[in-house]
Structure 1
Amino acid sequence: MDLPDSICTEVAILCYPDCQLAAVYGLTDLFRIAGEISRDRADGETTPAIRVSHWQLDAFGAEVVCTFDSHPGRPHRLGYVVVPPSLIVPSRMQPMQTLVSWLLAQHGNGTRLCSVCAGAFLAAETGLLDGRDVTTHWAFAAELAERYPQLRVDADRMLIDDGDVVTAGGILAWTDLGLTMVAQQLGPSIMLDTARFLLTDPPGRLQQPFIGFVQRRDHGDEAILKVQNWLQTTNARDHAIEMLAGRAGLGERTFQRRFLKATGLRLTEYAQHIRVAKAREQLETSRRSIEQIAWDVGYGDVSAFRRIFQRLTGLAPADYRRRFGAVLQDPEEPLVPTIP
């Protein structure tokens, strides 16, 4: 079905040597099914679709080329690029500098970098994972942390969404990644119907009736994209306009105008979304108190944190934890108490 560019989000899957083809074709099928469900629901009206393309080195190993396109005949505009699992252990993966350079170029254009399982090793070669929480297969976690000490490896988590970089854990975690993308682009209802059709569990963190913060990164403003990357890496702890305008190489008023145009949010609002997204992750996966979490994400005033969190998520932090917390609790040991 031919669809106009304006309603196609493109997911590029990188087919590197010895990658898991089940993930390549499984993701392709998953996105096609999601698109068909979305179209059937719309009853003939125009609906968003996820365009899928496959990319690999040419016969000379000199250039990365497209070998499959679900919606051919128009310029590529990659929203995501996925590095699938490897069928060989990381220590035997080949050096792939051409692919690394290609990944860096795509990310520089606003593409979100995603990896699954041992694909994290190829993604880590870009340096874009430095200073971030990332995940991979539990069997490779120690090696990933040793080889790339700048990473914070958390093998207990199935999927970590850090805005412009997303990492998924086990070799079949491509289903979690794919369904997460469907939820972000087509909505949580389509994601759940897709999971039901595939007879697979939806990602636990996305069974909620609202979607996490999805940053606009394909706007083409390189100065603003640079600031977005810095805010994500630092959890927006410092978002002073003067400092960020300097990082962008712009005057303050010009910076604010271009930031709003590119992201759709004012700087303070953008920083709040990043901080609340980090708080949501900690509420879902840790037993830390709400006060500790508020302080960790940059709020000295816990009352202000509660107000902002509820405004952005629709739930108070304690209610959010009760509803979506994944940490198993000893029935005789309460969670760390919080101030009412």
Structure 2
Amino acid sequence: MRQLRQHPASLVEVGLMLYPDCQTGMVHGITDLFDIAGRFAVDNGRAPVRVSHWRLQDGGGFARCYDSHPGEPAGNSPTVLIAPGSLHKLLEADEVAPYARWLLDRHAQGAVLASNCGGAFALAATGLLAGRPATTHWYFAEEFKTRFPDVRLEADRMVIDDGDIVTAGGLMAWTDLGLRIVERLLGPSVMMETARFLLIDPAGREQRNYASFAPKLTHGDEAILKVQHWLQSKEGRVNGVGEMAREAGLEERTFQRRFKAATAMTPVEYVQHIRVGKARELLEFTRRTVDQIAWSVGYEDAAAFRKLFHRITGLSPNEYRQRFAVPQPLAEVA
């Protein structure tokens, strides 16, 4: 693992690469997180943290537009450089080039690169992620795989620390990313103090605990889209692939091939995700037992349902209920 180098003026510097429509909430939030961590670091006899924001200039090149320690000597390369995500749109292929070049150059100078949410697209555009694991927001997973097929995308992961590159997934995963960087820069004690101060759970989490099922519906195959709408209306309660193929008006093998091409899932996987989605709703909003919920979403074998639920969400049904159940009084779902 690449060692994080110390700033020559005893400061460690975390830089954020700004771009049009990047997530300002993340930029300001993680800036505050590092400021708080830096205060705890000083209390523990460690070097403080310098936080800087960098913006592309009209004439090319990047310059600081914010510096938490403007009076201190500054180098040209932060210790860690982060590409934020975006609430609005991803950097397109024709927009990302100057950002990717700068990230690549800073990496060559020894900076550890990091990203949150859609910022992984800028990191991937450098070519540094080829053949390596990375994560991004689960909503962008299919587009990421299309644009960067040589990256080992693990969209279930909240944070992947691969030494010189650290990627974080969800829109709010900047908290997990920030704590991971604090741990590497300042040690576990400062990280835990920072987490406690901010009331953040530092335990490992996975995006699939939170991700809702977002099926592909813009594939252009009308027969498959018809079946998708039909499956949703029936909450996945169907009698096998044959019934789905008949609804589509297709021979079964043809249906399976076209369904997989359109949705990137087999028909069985698709139905499983619909059923688990309904089960999540019941766990959040009702008092029904897990066995009752398993039966209501189409599984006679509650043990098989529990195994499937854990595979898709990363949590057991009881763990999911403990984490996400709506506070009392709970409304019963028919």
TM-score by length of 2: 0.57
1:328 is displaced (CA, Å) by 5.1
Deviation at 1:94, TM superposition (A): 6.2
* One-letter amino acid of the structure 1 residue matched with residue 197 of structure 2: F
Secondary structure, aligned partner of 2:80? strand
Alpha-carbon deviations, 1:213-249, whole Å to 9, x = none? xxxxxxxxxxxxxxxxxxxxxxxxxxxxxxxxxxxxx
Aligned to 1:182: 182
Q: Take 1:24 and 1:329, find their aligned partners in 2: how far apart are those partners?
A: 34
CA distance in 2, matches of 1:177, 1:168: 6
Contact 1:136 1:169 in 2 (8 A): yes
Paired AA for residue 85 in structure 1: G
Letter paired with 2:82: V
In the other structure, the counterpart of 2:123 is 123
Matching of residue 86 in structure 1 with residue 86 in structure 2: yes
Match of 2:55 in 1: 56
Counting only pairs closer than 5 Å after superposition, residues 307-318 of structure 1 correspond to structure 2 as none
Amino acid at match of 1:47: R
1:38 maps to: 41
Letter matched to residue 151 of structure 1: V
**Counterpart-to-counterpart distance in 2, 1:196 and 1:66:** 31
DSSP 3-state at the match of 2:99: helix
Q: CA 1:172/1:65 → structure 2, altered by over 3 Å: closer, same or farther?
A: same
Q: In structure 2, do the counterparts of structure 1 residues 66 and 203 end up closer, same or farther at CA, with 3 Å as the change threshold?
A: farther
Q: Which residue of 2 aligns with 1:21?
A: 24
**Pair member with larger Rg:** 2
In structure 2, the residue matched to 1:75 is: 74
Shift of the 190–91 alpha-carbon distance from structure 1 to 2, 3 Å rule, reads: closer
| Aligned residue runs from structure 1 range 64-213, under 5 A | 64-72=62-70, 73-76=72-75, 77-90=77-90, 95-204=95-204
After superposition, the Cα gap between the structure-2 partners of 1:61 and 1:167, relative to the gap in structure 1 and judged at 3 Å, is farther
2:260 match: none
Contact 2:33–2:194 under 8 Å retained in 1: yes
Tell whether the 8 Å contact from 1:180 to 1:203 is kept in structure 2 after alignment: no
The answer (yes or no) to whether the contact 2:16–2:83 under 8 Å persists in 1 is yes
Matched position secondary structure for 1:78? coil
Moved segments of 4+, more than 4 Å = 91-94, 326-331
Alignment deviations for residues 151-185 of structure 1 (CA, whole Å, 9 cap, x no partner): 11111100001111111000111111110111111
- Percent of residue pairs bearing the same amino acid type: 48
- Give, as a single letter, the amino acid of the residue that structure 1 aligns with 2:65: T
- What CA distance in whole angstroms lies between the structure 2 residues aligned with 1:26 and 1:330? 32
* Structure 2 counterpart SS, 1:90: coil
- Give how far 1:202 is off: 1.0
State the AA in 2 paired with 1:63.
Answer: G
Task: Report deviation, 1:75.
Answer: 2.7
1:159 is aligned with what amino acid?
Answer: V
- Rounded Cα–Cα distance in structure 2 between residues aligned with 1:182 and 1:100: 24
Q: Measure how far apart 1:113 and its partner are.
A: 0.9
Q: Distance in 2 between matches of 1:23 and 1:61?
A: 27
Per the alignment, residue 249 of structure 2 pairs with none
The gaps in structure 2 that reach 5 residues or longer are 1-5, 206-312, 319-334
**Counterpart AA for 2:16:** I
How many Å separate the matches in 1 of 2:67 and 2:91?
32
Q: Which blocks of at least 5 consecutive residues in structure 1 are unaligned? A: 206-325, 332-340
Structure 1 length-normalised TM: 0.56
CA distance in 1, matches of 2:7, 2:95: 38
Distance in 1 (CA, whole Å) between partners of 2:203 and 2:117 is 16
**Residues 69, 203 of structure 1: alpha-carbon distance in 2 compared, 3 angstrom cutoff:** farther
Q: Secondary structure at the match of 1:204?
A: coil
| Matches of 2:114 and 2:11, distance apart in 1 | 18
Aligned 8 A contact 2:7 2:13 in 1: no
Report the CA distance between 1:50 and its aligned residue: 1.5
Alpha-carbon contact 1:134-1:167 (below 8 Å) kept: yes
More divergent stretch after superposition (141-150 vs 196-205) = 196-205
SS in 2 for 1:75: coil
Residue 145 of structure 2 aligns with an amino acid whose one-letter code is A
Secondary structure, aligned partner of 1:180: helix
How many residues are matched? 204
Give 1:199 shift: 1.3
Cα distance, 1:91 vs structure 2: 7.1
The Cα RMSD (Å) is 2.4
